[in-house]
Amino acid sequence: MRKLNARSTKSNAGSLKKTPQKYKRVGADETVHVLLRVRSENGQTITSHRDMAVKKGAALLGKMGQPVGPDLVGRLNNQIQLGTKTYLFLTIREGWNGPYVTYRCPLRQVHEKLDPAKRALVPGYYAFESHLVKTWFEIAGVERLDRDEMNRIVVLSSGRTIMSVIASSATVFCVGLPSKK
């Protein structure tokens, strides 16, 4: 088994009490997802992408800065091709210093470059900055999660819930969802 991680993830070891490391290693048969912590002016990121997905059936969300690692991109796209439900989770602060809120976005594909044929899926508010985007997430919708659902998301490298580490300096997390039993 091999450990997957996103290239831009930074360690925050020791900052909080650790939980059991049930998800420390990712097996070939385990489903992985990606979570981005994003900033959003007046909820524009969520609203614009949700509206685009409703209107056109999909939207492209761009991640600027460091790209998501190629191993994770390949893993996500392989899961999608096999018909496995794979998600991009977006976590933002509600208000200036409010609580974190997480949204689940079904992934259709992860792209390293913007396909010119899909440019119409990029919301207008950052279309002119698309050259700064290093990873594109093609999503089919945006759904807000309740607190219980948010607490089920686990960071695969540490086994800790996302809500216990979201305030760290990392912006990209390789995450999993425990199976319901």
Domains of the chain: 33-176 (3.10.590)
Radius of gyration of the chain (CA): 16
Confidence of residue 169 (pLDDT cuts 50, 70, 90): low
pLDDT at residue 28, rounded to an integer: 59
Which residue would you say has higher pLDDT here, 99 or 179? 99
Residue 4 predicted with pLDDT over 70: no
Q: What is the mean pLDDT of residues 75-94?
A: 95
- Mean residue pLDDT of the chain comes to 82
> What share of the chain in percent tops pLDDT 70?
82
**pTM for the model:** 0.82
List, in order, residues 6 or more apart from 50 with CB less than 8 Å away.
Answer: 59, 141, 142
Q: Are 60 and 138 in contact (CB under 8 A)?
A: yes
Q: What is the mean pLDDT of residues 34-53?
A: 88
CA distances from 85 to 81, 98, 108, 177 (A): 10, 30, 9, 11
Strand (E) or helix (H) holding 36: strand 33-37
pLDDT at residue 97, rounded to an integer: 78
Of 1-10, 52-61, 79-88, 91-100, give the lowest mean pLDDT range.
Answer: 1-10
pLDDT at residue 166, rounded to an integer: 84
Q: What is the mean pLDDT of residues 106-111?
A: 98
